Amino acid sequence: MPIPNPAAMEFLLTRRSRPAKILTAPAPTREELLPILTAAARVPDHGKLEPWRFLVLEKPALARLAALARRRGAGMGLEPERIEKGVLQLSEADLAVAVVHVPRPTVKVPEIEQVLSAGAACLTLLNAALASGWGASWLTGWHVHDAEFCREGLGLGAGEWVAGLIHIGTETTTPPDRPRPDIAAITTWVSE
């Protein structure tokens, strides 16, 4: 007989991300962040490959990355509004954790399973931050999809890429909940 965990289920049924633009200081300390990162590392990981790693980006690093994003965006000829959106995502943040997908060469575990594990690490990191009482948001953007930005700014190696930037901080307001999927419309029951 299953042993339910009503508190965990209630959390999952009511959880919601907080927009990064409403997050402010204080952000978690290193000590407060460690259990959140530990939870994120407990995701499904076929073959125990750890096909992800975490880069904790504190305020000075985020300011440096914002300046790099401005330079890269201009060099790439992006529209000023698009550049500014990427810059502000970094410059206005107090803390973000980059979840980096690290492909592991193996014949046993398909690459897609490693990618999905990195995505699971993003979601678990987000949920662990929320469950710890912080506001959190999972974002990406043009800058983290730019190989040169990632190599120069984040020190990513060959084949590595950012699965998500998890912004964590203190929420200043609680936004209204958004409409949720109609479970009946997206579920098919297969019994034969």
**Whole-model pTM?**
0.95
β-pairing verdict for 95-101 and 52-58: antiparallel
Determine the pLDDT at residue 176.
Answer: 86
Place of tokens 């492909």: 103
- Of 130, 58, 138, nearest to 94 by C-alpha is 58
Hey, where are the domains in the chain? Answer: 19-166
β-pairing verdict for 95-101 and 135-139: unpaired
Q: Which residues of 67-95 are buried (b: 16+ CB within 10 A; e: fewer)?
A: ebbbebbeeeebeeeebebbbebbbebbb
Q: Which CATH class is domain 19-166?
A: alpha beta
Whether omega for the bond prior to residue 179 falls within 30 degrees of 0, making it cis, is no
* Residue 12 CB contacts under 8 Å (≥ 6 apart), including other chains: 127
Determine the pLDDT at residue 86.
Answer: 96
Write out the chain's pLDDT in tens, 192 residues. 999 999 999 999 999 999 999 999 999 999 999 999 999 999 999 999 999 999 999 999 999 999 999 999 999 999 999 999 999 999 999 999 999 999 999 989 999 999 999 999 999 999 999 999 999 999 999 999 999 999 999 999 999 999 999 999 999 988 888 899 999 999 999 999
